[in-house]
Structure 1
Amino acid sequence: MTACIDEIIELLSAELRNADPAERRQIENELELALAEREVIWAEQDGRIDAEPPF
């Protein structure tokens, strides 16, 4: 699963380097979300957070 998110992050980073100003903010937002998603995946794998809902 992390390999897929890592690929997405790489693609968004590449797009950001070549983005025109009109697209830049949208790509930055998508990249920020992908990085946060990867952090959650890592935290679940490390046992720092529980993936199960609390109820």
Structure 2
Amino acid sequence: MTLEHHIEELRAELRNCWDHEERRQIEAELEVAVAELNIWIEELTQDLRGEKPPF
């Protein structure tokens, strides 16, 4: 499963979730997945620009 697909599934679960505890858990998972996607996009952008990450 791609990261984008996982994010869409989490968003769908969130739309259909009524339990507050489960909702917080899904929101946390979604936040992590979106952060991972943003990191991946930033690394890809740096590669395309010919920049190297600092590590």
**TM-score range normalised by the length of the shorter chain:** 0.7 to 0.9
Instruction: After TM superposition, give the deviation of residue 24 of structure 1 in Å.
Output: 0.4
Report 1:1-55 matches (<5 A).
4-19=2-17, 20-47=19-46, 50=53, 54=55
Q: Structure 2: which 5+ residue stretches go unaligned?
A: none
Moved >3 Å (runs of 4+): none
Between the two proteins, what is the percent identity of the paired residues? 46
Higher-RCO chain (CA-CA 8 Å, sequence separation at least 6)? 1
Q: Structure 1: which 5+ residue stretches go unaligned?
A: none
Instruction: After TM superposition, give the deviation of residue 49 of structure 1 in Å.
Output: 6.4
Change (3 A) 1:35 1:49: farther
Cα distance in 2 for partners of 1:18, 1:9 equals 14
Give RMSD over aligned pairs. 2.0
May I ask how many residue pairs the two structures share in their alignment? Answer: 50
Instruction: After TM superposition, give the deviation of residue 26 of structure 1 in Å.
Output: 0.4
TM-score (norm 2): 0.79
Instruction: After TM superposition, give the deviation of residue 11 of structure 1 in Å.
Output: 0.3
